[in-house]
A and B are shown apart, each in its own frame.
Chain A
Amino acid sequence: DTGVSQNPRHKITKRGQNVTFRCDPISEHNRLYWYRQTLGQGPEFLTYFQNEAQLEKSRLLSDRFSAERPKGSFSTLEIQRTEQGDSAMYLCASRGGPNTGELFFGEGSRLTVL
């Protein structure tokens, strides 16, 4: 088991472009989470999936953001028409279920919007 894997690790893009991040959770974990972390702040919850169902979305997840987990395994987070304020570290985490409390985090995907 290689843990939670995220790619790309770094992405630099120009304002207005679309970007997509991928997360591969720990294989037997059915819950997958996305967080955003800006400099000097703690991670902020964006959304989570149980298998392929998106069960909770934060108000932080504007219409330009969309997340999918089509087969209940890997997930993608797409940001359309990026803005400079989207620059952040995007973290993915997974866990096995409601009674297994620990979240396992990936190392994150850092987005820089110029």
Chain B
Amino acid sequence: GNSVTQMEGPVTLSEEAFLTINCTYTATGYPSLFWYVQYPGEGLQLLLKATKADDKGSNKGFEATYRKETTSFHLEKGSVQVSDSAVYFCALRSGGGADGLTFGKGTHLIIQP
């Protein structure tokens, strides 16, 4: 079956630090990959996505590259801000007609000023 594994949190960084949140997956077919973010008190929002191998998704200074050879989709940002504090979820949608997203457990990111 499909599964997503992401690094456990909380991850605590200082402002302007470099961020990496690891995500690896197991899936049938050729999945699309997503990062969602949940800010305190808000619903999940799509942060970025990639639909095929070697695609890079980017948004708000965040990036992630779809690596089929390592089945990974690590999230990176060069310089984090306090406003990036949130819970980040890696997710996939596999091909073959299945439409539901499979999520990882989430990584709580805390950025200190």
Contact = CB atoms under 8 A, between A and B. Distances in A.
Interface stretch (B65-73, B74-82, B94-102): B94-102
Interface string B1-12: 000100000000
A83 interface: no
B103 A44 contact: yes
B106 A41 contact: yes
Contacts of B44: 43, 91, 93, 103, 105
A85 interface: no
Interface in B31-89: 32, 34, 36, 42-46, 49, 51, 89
A58 B89 CA distance: 20
A108 interface: yes
Nearest to A106: B43
Nearest to A31: B99
Name the residue in A42, A43, A45, A55 with the highest tally of chain B Cβ atoms < 10 Å from its Cβ: A42
Nearest to A57: B100
A98 B42 CA distance: 25
Contact of A103 (B46, B98, B104, B106): B46
Nearest to A55: B99
Nearest to A93: B44
A53 to B, nearest CB: 12
Given A41-B105, A56-B99, A102-B49, 9 more contacts: A33-B101, A40-B106, A42-B91, A48-B100, A91-B43, A93-B44, A98-B99, A101-B51, A106-B43
Interface of A: 4, 31, 33, 35, 40-45, 48, 55-56, 58, 91, 93, 98, 101-103, 105-108
The 3 closest A-B pairs by CB, nearest first: A42-B103, A45-B100, A105-B44
